Chain A
Amino acid sequence: MGDPLFSKGVGPTVVLIVLIKTLVVFVFLLVGVLFTIWMLRKVMADMQDRIGPNRAGPYGLLQSVADGIKLFFKEDLLPETADRRVFRLAPYLAAVPAFLTFAVVPIGGTVKLFGHRTILQLADPPVGILLVLALSSIAVYGVMLAGWASGSKYPLLGGVRVTAQMLSYEAAMGLATAAVVLSAGSLSTRVIVTEQANWRWNLWQLGIIPFAVFLLAAAAEMRHRPFDLVEADQELVAGFMTEYSSVRFALFYLAEFMGTITMSAVMITLFLGGPLGPDIGFLGGRVSPLWFFVKLVGFLFLFMWIRTTVPRFRYDQLMDLGWKRMIPLSLAWLLLIAAMRLGVDEGWNRFEVVAIAVAAGTVAAGALAAAMRVSAARREEQELEATV
């Protein structure tokens, strides 16, 4: 376990290799963001029967570069009522976690660099996947404080909304992750990937439920449609970003797209076997980063597809989906997986285990549904009384 790079002590070459790896990841993410913005605009344009950007560079590829340069030369406004220090700090708090998460994503096997063997992954801490959860919970601060520090109403509402939304969906996300950790028996992202070798991808090994829950929770964490209540333009102008302009706006934009890329990368790691894929010809296992990128682009497309086609949720629907559907579902599924796992270890009859688990699950679901029906009826009654 761990990176073989550090097994022989830390010398100047090792530090150099780490610096190179960090730089490569950073540049990859920045270029990736530019590419993702272009891809989003093209995909959206295609789905809406438009042409999309086609002026700057071939197929409009340089459009995002042009937009970026324009943003940097715009006037940087600071609202009169803003809390200056927090207002300036917030964009960085949003951008840094989005970048850091990528550090634990494995993008390939081991390579030899300057006589040292090293893994194609920035860091492989023993608590790998917990770091992802920690950073995604830290990411709340940027948006939340941006909303508060702007010192006006709509951004504040956006900030409050984002906090509630991200806290709610983090629970479901954590439970879906727990299912993966349970099957891999490790928190290290690298072990999670190697456990999925020979096409034993968690996507189908765990049933589709944890993946589906994680996909929805990730979409909610990324605050894209259908979960973009944070910046719902008909209701909140642009939510927490309303007062931001120039470079700080660009940082939020960057953080958003970096978040999309890193979340896709995390999902590939957890459910789609990371860089695992069939070997190709004489290149053998060296094509694994290629498989990673193919999966990454596939995921980006999936998110763009959802973004373009699904209309926005209402706020109470969002909360209902998170708390009343996804959390109970992922919790029940986690218990089912744990029961089956225990059954395998103890040598119990698999069908009996499943039958008992399904029976217990049905009873629990029935009780939950009944409780929700009662509370909904009661709320309706109260609202009716209040309006009389």
Chain B
Amino acid sequence: MDWFVFVVAGALAIAGALGVVLSRNPVHAALMLVMSLLAVAVLFVEQKADFLAAVQVIVYAGAIVVLFLFVIMLIGVDRPESLTVEPLRGQRPFAAFIGVAAFAELFFLVRLQGASGRRASAGSLTSGHESNVERLARPLFTHYLLPFELTSALLVVAVVGAVVLSRRERAVTVDEGEG
């Protein structure tokens, strides 16, 4: 059963990822991204990482891609883009190189570290009566409290920074008039 879920969700995730790259229409690409994210969420559930799955759907599928779509719709770039123009010179060969390198790295890591796909017994995601959420929350709010708080401070700084940067003094369009 696990195997069946893995194959279906994995295939959907890969199909979605390919769709993001191959769709010409930005809205279709964003939708494919949602499909990929949801399929990965299913994989998380299959690995008993319930909380991660929920957060994946709420944050990525529910907020971030919605914002992508919102921006696409609002500024009207929803026309299919032509692939003949290259916005950044040398971007494509460079991207291809990075992609191949990352894939090779992943491949060798998996091969050399002997990842078997079995669940680790040490870092179990649930323990006895403790649910996945409690198991995550306890270290997060005790041992790792400082990094956690620092992250939230960082996010606040980012929000304030975004507001300050995007806020421009509205240029007064009317001339003051001479004399």
Contacts and interface: CB of A to CB of B under 8 A. Distances in A.
B62 A137 contact: yes
B172 A140 contact: no
| Residues of A contacting B: mostly | helix
Given A86-B27, A86-B31, A385-B172, A144 B129 contact: no
Contacts of B27: 83, 86, 145, 148
Contacts of A133: 54, 58, 62
Interface string A162-198: 0110010010000000000000001110000000000
Interface residues of B, number: 30
A140 B66 contact: yes
Nearest to B56: A134
B58 A137 contact: yes
A125 B41 CA distance: 14
A127 B133 contact: yes
Interface string B30-55: 01001000000000000000110111
A344 B155 CA distance: 31
Contact of A126 (B25, B34, B132, B174): B132
A269 B51 CA distance: 20
Contacts of A170: 62
15 contacts: A83-B27, A125-B50, A127-B54, A130-B55, A134-B61, A137-B66, A138-B57, A138-B61, A140-B66, A145-B31, A160-B70, A170-B62, A187-B133, A385-B174, A386-B172
B74 interface: yes
A1 B131 CA distance: 10
Nearest to A159: B73
Given A134-B57, A140-B66, A126 B133 contact: yes
A230 interface: no
Interface string A75-103: 00000000101100000000000000000
Contacts of B69: 141, 144-145, 148, 163
A130 B132 CA distance: 13
A134 B59 CA distance: 8
Contacts of B51: 127, 130
B143 interface: no
Contacts of B28: 85-86
A354 B74 CA distance: 45
B133 A163 contact: no
A200 B63 CA distance: 34
A126 B73 CA distance: 36
Contacts of B133: 126-127, 187
A163 B131 contact: no
Contacts of B172: 385-386
B50 A127 contact: yes
Nearest to B69: A144
Interface residues of A, number: 33
A14 to B, nearest CB: 13
Nearest to B25: A83
B170 interface: yes
Interface string A285-321: 0000000000000000000000000000000000000
Nearest to B62: A137
A371 B34 CA distance: 38
A160 B73 contact: yes
B170 A382 contact: yes
Contacts of B57: 134, 137-138
B58 A134 contact: yes
A388 interface: yes
A251 to B, nearest CB: 18
Contacts of A125: 50
B173 interface: yes
A340 interface: no
Interface in B63-120: 63, 66-67, 69-70, 73-74, 78
Given A137-B57, A137-B62, A141-B34, A1 B50 contact: no
B115 to A, nearest CB: 27
A164 B31 CA distance: 18
Contact of B70 (A134, A137, A164, A386): A164
Contact of B74 (A86, A130, A160, A186): A160
Nearest to B53: A127
B66 A167 contact: yes
Contacts of A138: 57, 61-62
A126 B62 contact: no
Given A126-B131, A130-B55, A144-B70, 4 more contacts: A1-B131, A126-B133, A137-B58, A386-B173
A1 B78 contact: no
Nearest to A181: B133
A258 interface: no
Contacts of A386: 170, 172-174
A263 interface: no
A179 B4 CA distance: 38
B25 to A, nearest CB: 8
Contacts of B78: 148
